[in-house]
Amino acid sequence: MSPKSNNSKSLLGIILILVLLALNAYQWIVNSNLKGELNDKKSAFLELEKLNTELDQDYEDALKDLEDMRSDNQELNTLIDTQKEELAVQKKKISGLIWSERELGKARQELNKFKSMANQYLSEINTLKSQNENLSAENQNLQAENTSLTAEAVINKSRISKLDSMRDMLSNENENLSSSNEQLSTKVEIAEAIKINFIEVQGYDIKDNGDIAKRNRAKRIEMLRACFTTETNVITPAGEQEFFIRYTAPSGEVLYVEELGSGMLTDKLSGETVMYTASGKVEYNNEDLTACLDWKPNFPLGKGMFQIAIYNNGFNVGNGEFKLK
């Protein structure tokens, strides 16, 4: 055999050895990675199994604690049944996170919520039991008081019977007197109400510098000013008088914004409670008076014919209307 042939065989042998070494190294790396992944999965499974065991134990403990709270109180027992159902739903949810979704972090969070729920339920039941015990004690006290009151009632019954006839006589006399007083009082209050002779309502736009400009178009109005002239009323005591204004939209709805001064008053003539839009006080000296009251709505006004009613001393003392384009 020639030297050249021997060299070729030696080179081929070296190459084969190198290839085998490379394959062995690759297989070792793959096996190491697979072994690491297997260990990781095994650890994760053990952690999931541990969490599930903890869930089962907490669930059983919670059910036992709830069952220990049962009594002859049907309302309390119904609440316990409801809470057990809610805990079962939460347990099922956590089990799904553990075995279906393999969400360890979320499962741990939900398990903490589960524990909080169980503690909260026990606290609620303890509170209800305490309240029931207090109510039971109060009920016993009330029964004792009721027995005592029943005895007193028998004694007082005869006294009341004797007083009934006298009361009926006095009641009839009092009703007649009250009716006369009410009629007289109403007449006086009506006489003291300050009547309105003239009403005018004008819309205004408020400029940035505070100046106002007359406007008749609803969409440009930021303030309604109601000016009115009163009659002379010598019966009304001189001094500060309050007037209430009610604006009614074309739709029939009263303009009412409590934050802007709107409120309720009683119409003394009809006895009905009515809404008013705004109010204001003026100084009255038993003579004709012209005054104006402003109201600034915080919403756009619609078009059409509006109604205005003015009240003083609980009576409607003037009405009018105005139109916005």
| pLDDT single digits (tens) 212-266 | 999 989 989 999 999 999 988 888 888 999 999 999 999 999 999 999 999 999 9
The reply to whether 66 and 165 lie within a common domain is yes
133 and 253 belong to one structural domain: no
Task: Give percent above pLDDT 90 in the chain.
Answer: 34
**3-state secondary structure (DSSP) of residue 71:** coil
Structural domain of residue 296, as residue ranges?
A: 195-324
Q: Which residue has the tokens 């919403």?
A: 299
Specify the pLDDT at position 161. 63
Q: What is the pLDDT of residues 274-304, one digit of tens each?
A: 999 999 999 999 889 999 999 999 999 999 9
Same domain for 144 and 92?
yes
> Residue range 38-56: average pLDDT?
68
Instruction: Give me Rg for the CA atoms of the chain.
Output: 45
Asked whether residue 16 falls in the same domain as residue 152, the answer is yes
Amino acid of residue 129: K
pLDDT at 181 over 50: no
Structure token digits, residue 90 = 């939460």
Q: What average pLDDT does this structure show over 184-210?
A: 82
Question: Which range among 30-39, 56-65, 187-196 shows the weakest confidence by mean pLDDT?
Answer: 30-39
Mean pLDDT of 117-130: 80
Verify that 146 and 129 share a domain, yes or no: yes
Judge if 239 and 318 occupy the same domain.
yes
Q: Copy the structure tokens of residue 143.
A: 């029964």
**pLDDT for residue 93:** 79
Residue pair 181/207 in contact (Cβ under 8 Å)? The answer is: no
Q: Which of 125, 160, 192 is the last residue of a domain?
A: 192
Q: How many domains does the chain have?
A: 2
- CB half-sphere exposure, 83, CA atoms < 13 A: 27
Are 280 and 305 contained in the same domain? yes
Q: Write down the pLDDT at residue 129.
A: 73
- Better-predicted residue by pLDDT, 314 or 10: 314
pLDDT at position 180 is 44
Indicate whether 180 and 222 sit together in one domain.
Answer: no
Flag whether pLDDT at 320 surpasses 80.
yes
Among the candidates 143, 169, 192, a domain finishes at 192
For residue 81, the model assigns a pLDDT of 86
Residue 264 DSSP symbol: E
Same-domain pairing of 103 and 184: yes
> 324: pLDDT confidence band, cut at 50, 70 and 90?
very high
pLDDT at residue 10 tops 80: no
pLDDT of 86 higher than 60: yes
For 192-220, b where at least 16 C-beta lie within 10 A, e where not — what string? bbbebeebebbbbeeeeeeeeeebeebee
- Please, where are the H alpha helices in 69-103? 74-95
Q: Two tokens at 199?
A: 């009403």
The domain that contains 242 carries what CATH number? 2.60.40
pLDDT interval class at 184 (50, 70, 90)? very low
Please check whether residues 62 and 158 belong to one and the same domain. Answer: yes
- 65 burial (CB, 10 Å; 0-12 / 13-18 / 19+) is middle
Say if CB 272 and CB 266 are below 8 A apart. Answer: yes
> CB-based contacts of 277: which residues, under 8 Å, 6+ apart?
245, 246, 247, 254, 255, 256, 257, 261, 262, 295
Mean pLDDT of the chain: 81
- Asked if residue 183 and residue 91 are part of one domain, the reply reads yes
Pair 139, 2 in one domain: yes
Alpha-carbon separation of residue 4 from 1, 9, 10, 13, 254 (angstroms): 8, 9, 10, 15, 118
Using the 3D structure, point to which of 192, 211, 231 is the last residue of a domain.
192
CA neighbor of 308 nearest in space, from 233, 221, 227, 208: 227
The stretch 37-63 carries a mean pLDDT of 71
Asked if pLDDT for residue 36 goes beyond 80, the answer is no
Q: How far apart are CA 201 and CA 205, in angstroms?
A: 14
Residue 73 burial by CB count (10 A; 0-12/13-18/19+): exposed, middle or buried?
middle
